[in-house]
Amino acid sequence: MQIKILGPGCANCTKLEKETAKAVAKLGIDATIEKVTDFGDIAAYGVMKTPGLVIDEEVVASGRVPTASKIAELLRGRA
C-alpha cells in the first residue's frame, strides 16, 4: 500500500504523518509512507488545502488531520 502525506511540512502535516504511522502500526499492514512537499505535485492531486492524505493514489482527506482511528478505518477498507 502506498500512502502519501501532501503538504509543505507544517505542524499539521507532521501531525498527519504521525497519526498515519500510528494507524499503519496498529493494523500491522505493509505500507510505505511518503511525504510530498512540492506544490505542483500537491496541486496535481486537486488538493488546495493541506495537509492531504492519499492512499493508493486516491485523495481520502484534505485540509484537516483525521485521527489515527479514522485513518485506520480508511486503510482497513483498502487492505
Active-site pick, 2, 8, 9, 10: 10
Catalytic-labelled residue, pool 13, 31, 53, 65: 13
pLDDT tens digit string along 11-40? Answer: 999 999 999 999 999 999 999 999 999 999
Active site residue 65: no
- Known catalytic residue at 14: no
Mean pLDDT value across the chain: 95
Domain count, the chain: 1
Please give the model's pTM, rounded to 2 decimal places: 0.94
- The CATH number of the domain holding residue 54 is 3.40.30.10
Distance, C-alpha 19 to centroid of its chain:
9
Q: What is the per-residue pLDDT across 53-79, written as a single tens digit (0 to 9) for each?
A: 999 999 999 999 999 999 999 999 776
Element containing residue 69 per DSSP (H, E): helix 68-76
